[in-house]
Amino acid sequence: MSATSEEPSAKIELLPASREHVSILANLLERYVHDFSEFFRLELGADGRFGYQHLPLYLSEPNRYSFLVKVDGKLAGFAFVKRAPGIVHARELWDMAEFFIVRAYRKRGIGRRVADAVWERFPGLWEVRVMESNRAARGFWMKAVADFSGGPVEPVTIEKDGMRWLVFAFESGAVFE
């Protein structure tokens, strides 16, 4: 099987995370944040970890949702979703706040299936942000959003804290069962 082939037979699970999963999420977040250290300056703490200060919010606030991703029963990543005012649209919408698939599961169609499952679970207006400099993520989100919404979605470019971001806005009408 090539590194870019689809794996339609892989069993994907999107499992709601809870406080009992905090150490698993914290470990996965370290890998996620390490990936981002390629694109902007992040400092390790004295304990050798990057940390993620918003993790407790995704396990306690009513408008934030965290999910563990499993592929064929094996841990493969996470997704964090929040309901908040948008960047492009000022009204409340769904935001794919954080999304991570472990490298061993990338370029196999798994990330797209996970993103679809998240979007279907929360119908309504969505925004997905991606750093313009992160070419791999930019390509992934451009294709994933276009495939899900049935055609290309032109992103809006914004600048925040000296960095350029692309924001994809689209509608999800399906309901996840």
Q: Tens of pLDDT along 145-162?
A: 999 999 999 999 999 878
Domain-embedded: residue 38: yes
Mean pLDDT score of the chain: 87
Average pLDDT over residues 44-71: 84
What total number of domains does the chain contain?
1
Domain-embedded: residue 153: no
Give the pLDDT confidence score for residue 177 in this predicted structure. 37
Tokens of 66: 């965290």
Residues whose CB is less than 8 angstroms from the CB of residue 149 and which lie 6 or more positions away in sequence, other chains included = 170, 171
Domain-embedded: residue 74: yes
Q: Which amino acid, 158?
A: I
Q: Are 146 and 152 in contact (CB under 8 A)?
A: yes
Domain-embedded: residue 68: yes
- Checking if the pLDDT of 81 tops 70, the result is yes
Cα 133 to Cα 146: distance, rounded to the nearest angstrom: 20
Where in the sequence is the domain holding 24, given as residue range(s)? 12-123
Q: Which among 88, 106, 67, 91 has a CA at the least distance from the CA of 160?
A: 88
Average pLDDT over residues 41-49: 67
* Phi, psi angle pair for 176, to nearest 5°: -75, 135
Domain-embedded: residue 98: yes
Q: Which domain CATH number covers 97?
A: 3.40.630.30
Secondary structure (3-state) at 7: coil
Q: Tens of pLDDT along 2-19?
A: 344 566 688 999 999 999
Tokens of 79: 């997704």
Question: Is the model's pTM score more than 0.85?
Answer: yes
Domain-embedded: residue 151: no
Tokens of 81: 């979703």
- Checking if the pLDDT of 90 tops 90, the result is no
Average pLDDT over residues 29-43: 73
Domain-embedded: residue 55: yes
Domain-embedded: residue 144: no
